[in-house]
Amino acid sequence: MIEAEPDMEVCGEAETEAQARRAIREINPDIVIVDLALQDGDGLELVRDVHAHHPDVPMLVLSMHDETIYAERLLSEGASGYIMKQAAADQLLNALRTVLRGETYLSEALTTTLRSRAGTAQPAGAANPVERLSNRELQVLNLVGRGVSSREIAAELGLSVKTVESHRQSVKRKLNLATNAQLLQYAMNWFAGRRSPPPSGG
């Protein structure tokens, strides 16, 4: 789709966080499209790292996840725009051109939501409970959903196993999940891009 446009071309692709970092360093692209669902690594960490080492390279984030959960976090980490994977092709091209012009791209729905939030205080518990998670807790939730063990999560995020377990407990508390099995099921649903229903109890 991008290659069909006369003013754009794809200069590189990567499937993992490590490959993406290397490609960005070697190719020096005009813009990076970041998919949060990397095969190996974390899109949030990649955005943070690219912004730190290549602050002049704009990033448009593509995700299946609810934009109200991720967009503000990613913009604060250095992303220039956020678009859902379900968006139409012309919306993606418009988003790319918007970011390339040095502007920020957000969907009309998200812009309306953010303006509403700025004008009114949301009642406690009204938002998606995942919004209560910190960036690190959100990373842990995603990795649990990918079937990664606490020891592997610790290695990937540069944390101790004890710290990862602490994050898991905090996630369970904030999401009102009683057991590790409930956490795993919720995380798998979340990673698959579906909203998890609240646990049935017990």
My answer on whether 113 and 133 are in the same domain is no
Average pLDDT over residues 172-187: 90
Domain with 148 in it: what CATH number? 1.10.10.10
My answer on whether 88 and 29 are in the same domain is yes
Domain boundary among 71, 91, 119: 119
Domain with 41 in it: what CATH number? 3.40.50.2300
Going by their DSSP bridges, the two strands 32-35 and 59-63 should be labelled as parallel
The model carries a pTM of 0.67
The lowest-confidence range among 65-79, 83-97, 111-125 is 111-125
pLDDT at 96 over 80: yes
My answer on whether 90 and 142 are in the same domain is no
My answer on whether 113 and 139 are in the same domain is no
56 found inside a domain = yes
Report residue 125's pLDDT band, with 50, 70 and 90 as the boundaries. very low
Domain boundary among 97, 119, 141: 119
My answer on whether 29 and 115 are in the same domain is yes
Domain tally, the chain: 2
My answer on whether 150 and 58 are in the same domain is no
How far, in Å, CA of 82 to CA of 95, rounded?
8
Tell me, what's the pLDDT at 119? Answer: 60
pLDDT at 60 over 70: yes
pLDDT at 124 over 60: no
176 found inside a domain = yes
Report residue 42's pLDDT band, with 50, 70 and 90 as the boundaries. confident
Return the higher-pLDDT residue of 195 and 34: 34
198 found inside a domain = no
Tell me, what's the pLDDT at 22? Answer: 93
Domain boundary among 119, 138, 169: 119
pLDDT at 79 over 80: yes
pLDDT at 197 over 70: no
Residue span of the structural domain in which 171 resides = 129-191
My answer on whether 83 and 114 are in the same domain is yes
Average pLDDT, rounded, for the chain: 83
Tell me, what's the pLDDT at 198? Answer: 42
pLDDT at 38 over 60: yes
